[in-house]
């Protein structure tokens, strides 16, 4: 460390000089330290990358190279990204509900049937009391009874099961697609939106077909055995999902949707556009005129008012 050469100033000890120098250095090199939670940090990065495609690309590359990203793309994603994920999750859900219902009914010994009376529709459970599970103490339940609804018996029960299955498939589908989008740097926003859309439609269609068949069996009184509609619904959902996946694979529906989304967005040439405000003439319109004008050649209208600056 250099000694003080300023003769106008009194001699100070080495230690004091060192402390002063450190203080001066600290004053001249002030750095703001912000402590952020991971969520806040991601939020800041997202905010900055919104207007900076290069930063977004580099962030996605970093995420893809992270340990979790590598695990996702190499180990989990080849399984999770496949079209069987949602039907498999729905099957697991159905299997769980079935098992619960069958345990409660102890199918081997308890026979269930439905009886409509002027007071309401009842699910009657017959057979030796010992064969019924601990869940069911009684022998006669209204179809709106929460226990029956929980077990998927009766119209309400089927509706609840269908809703639960659909929500589960949506959650699984959106989760898988989103994770794939975050950790797989080859996936774009088109893959995310197209993937979620197609999976949701497939799950919705399978649930709708299954639920309508199950409910039709109840509504038409096709059978008195209470668990038949539940079985019919589960089998229908499973088979419809499997066939829809085959159809998707055969006709490349998801890929076509993603390609269409890419084409739509790519057809607009990138660049900065200027809005020609001089072309816009204020004119009072009533509602019907406005609607007609908007429907007529919307693209030409917009092209008259937009002109690319850098082309």
Partner 1 sequence: MQATNTTQIRRSLIWSIPSFLLILSLSIWSIKYSFLNTIIDLKNSSASVRITPLHLAIVYFPVIAATGIIAMIQKSIPCKERTLKIAERIFALSVFTGTGVVLLCFFVIAPLQYYAMPKLGYTRCNILEDHPTIYFTDWVKNPDWCVRGKSREWVNEQARLGK
Which residue ranges make up the site for partner 1 (CB under 8 A)? 78-79, 82, 84, 88, 114-116, 121, 208-209, 212-213, 215-226, 228, 231-232, 234-236, 238-240, 242-247, 249-250
What is the torsional sign of CA 10, 14, 19, 23?
Answer: positive
Name the minimum Å distance from CB 158 to partner 1: 12
DSSP conformation letters of 95-139: HHHHHHHHHHHTTTT-EEEEEEETTEEEEEEES-GGGS-TT---S
Instruction: Identify whether the C-beta of residue 149 lies closer than 8 Å to the C-beta of residue 226.
Output: no
Q: Which helix (H) or strand (E) holds 23?
A: helix 14-28
Beta bridge partners of 113: 124, 225
Nearer to partner 1, 78 or 109 (CB): 78
Nearer to partner 1, 168 or 227 (CB): 227
Name the minimum Å distance from CB 73 to partner 1: 15
Nearer to partner 1, 60 or 203 (CB): 203
HSE-up of residue 203 (Cα within 13 Å, Cβ side):
28
Name the minimum Å distance from CB 207 to partner 1: 11
CA-to-CA distance for 208 and 202, rounded, in angstroms?
10
Nearer to partner 1, 82 or 140 (CB): 82
Name the minimum Å distance from CB 226 to partner 1: 8
Name the minimum Å distance from CB 243 to partner 1: 4
Q: How many CB atoms lie within 10 A of CB 73?
A: 20
The first and second tokens of residue 77, run together, are 């994603």
Nearer to partner 1, 121 or 150 (CB): 121
The first and second tokens of residue 285, run together, are 């319109």
Name the minimum Å distance from CB 194 to partner 1: 19
The first and second tokens of residue 215, run together, are 């409910």
Nearer to partner 1, 104 or 244 (CB): 244
Name the minimum Å distance from CB 173 to partner 1: 16
Name the minimum Å distance from CB 205 to partner 1: 9
CA-to-CA distance for 252 and 248, rounded, in angstroms?
5
CA separation, residue 88 to residues 140, 192, 226, 259 (Å)? 34, 20, 25, 27
CA-to-CA distance for 15 and 30, rounded, in angstroms?
23
Nearer to partner 1, 60 or 240 (CB): 240
Provide the strand spans (E) within 203-293.
273-275
Radius of gyration (Cα) for the chain, nearest Å?
A: 33
Nearer to partner 1, 17 or 213 (CB): 213
């Amino acid at each position: 460390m250099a000694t003080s050469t300023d003769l106008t100033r009194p001699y100070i000890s080495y230690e004091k000089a060192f402390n002063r120098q450190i203080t001066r250095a600290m004053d001249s090199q002030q750095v703001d330290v912000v402590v952020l939670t991971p969520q806040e940090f991601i939020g800041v990065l997202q905010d900055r990358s919104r207007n900076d495609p290069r930063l977004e690309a580099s962030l996605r590359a970093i995420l893809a190279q992270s340990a979790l990203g590598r695990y996702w793309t190499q180990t989990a994603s080849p399984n999770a990204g496949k079209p069987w994920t949602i039907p498999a999750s729905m099957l697991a859900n159905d299997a769980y509900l079935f098992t619960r219902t069958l345990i409660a009914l102890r199918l081997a010994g308890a026979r269930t049937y439905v009886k409509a009376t002027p007071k309401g529709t009842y699910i009657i459970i017959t057979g030796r009391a010992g064969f019924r599970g601990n869940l069911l103490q009684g022998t006669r339940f209204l179809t709106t009874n929460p226990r029956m609804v929980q077990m998927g018996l009766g119209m309400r029960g089927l509706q609840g099961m269908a809703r639960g299955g659909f929500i589960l498939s949506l959650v699984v589908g959106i989760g898988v697609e989103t994770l794939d989008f975050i950790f797989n740097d080859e996936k774009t926003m088109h893959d995310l939106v197209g993937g979620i859309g197609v999976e949701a439609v497939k799950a919705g269609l399978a649930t709708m077909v299954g639920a309508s068949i199950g409910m039709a069996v109840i509504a038409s009184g096709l059978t008195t055995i209470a668990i038949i509609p539940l079985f019919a619904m589960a089998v229908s959902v499973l088979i419809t999902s499997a066939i829809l996946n085959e159809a998707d694979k055969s006709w490349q529906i998801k890929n076509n949707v993603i390609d269409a989304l890419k084409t739509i967005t790519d057809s607009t040439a990138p660049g900065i556009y200027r809005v020609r405000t001089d072309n816009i003439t204020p004119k009072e319109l009533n509602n019907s005129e406005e609607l007609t004008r908007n429907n007529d050649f919307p693209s030409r209208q917009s092209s008259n008012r937009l002109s690319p600056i850098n082309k």
